[in-house]
Amino acid sequence: MQAFVIDAFSFSQLKERRDGSTLISDFPRLSAECASTEGELTWSLEGGVSKLGYPLLRLTVEGKVQLICQRCLTSLDFEVDSVSELILAKNEEHADEIEALIEDDEIDVVVGSKAFDVMDLIEDEALLAIPQSPKHTVCPDAVTDSSVSTVSPVAAIEAKASKKPSPFAVLKKVNGRT
């Protein structure tokens, strides 16, 4: 991943703005979570000042990533659409002070620097936007048996399970209970 480094405090003070797009394959941690590294994330970063007068970064990240559905283990398209506001603090202690002052849970406080890597920030934002356990609303091809295709997915699973012999059937015969 190619670094994009800014002086976060100067960027905020000058109210600068940068836009771009980055391939998903350029984000190693995000790529590890995806089923495919095809596609890209578009992003914009805007500097400013918070209501309380602290330096602020406003980050928008959008794009489509392919995740693995935890139910059917097939590809799942997920739209990343994230907007976040980050107040910049000089150090960890200052960050704690600012967090105690602000009342908005939607605004995060991060430690800024003169060598602030924006690509890491974009990747972090995308990782926070994706679900921990992604699932289709309705999995595609969840039922492949045509005889139960009109049955609900739960009933289809139960029907398939009832056709299989119980793994404990052998134990019943050994124990003499038939």
Lowest pLDDT segment from 53-57, 91-95, 142-146: 142-146
Mind listing the pLDDT tens digit for each residue in 135-165? 998 888 754 444 344 445 555 555 555 555 6
Strand partners, 65: 78
Q: Decide if 66 contacts 39 (C-beta within 8 A).
A: yes
Lowest pLDDT segment from 24-33, 73-82, 150-159: 150-159
Mind listing the pLDDT tens digit for each residue in 60-77? 999 999 999 998 999 999
The pTM is what? 0.73
Q: What is the pLDDT of residue 67?
A: 95
Cα(27)–Cα(12) distance, rounded to whole angstroms?
25
Residue 178 binned pLDDT confidence (cut-offs 50, 70, 90): low
Average of per-residue pLDDT values in the chain:
84
Q: What is the pLDDT of residue 131?
A: 93
Q: Which residues of 96-127 are buried (b: 16+ CB within 10 A; e: fewer)?
A: eebeeebeeeebebbebeeebebbebbbbbbe
Closest by Cα among 69, 76, 175, 64 to 129: 64
Give the mean model confidence (pLDDT) for residues 122-137. 93
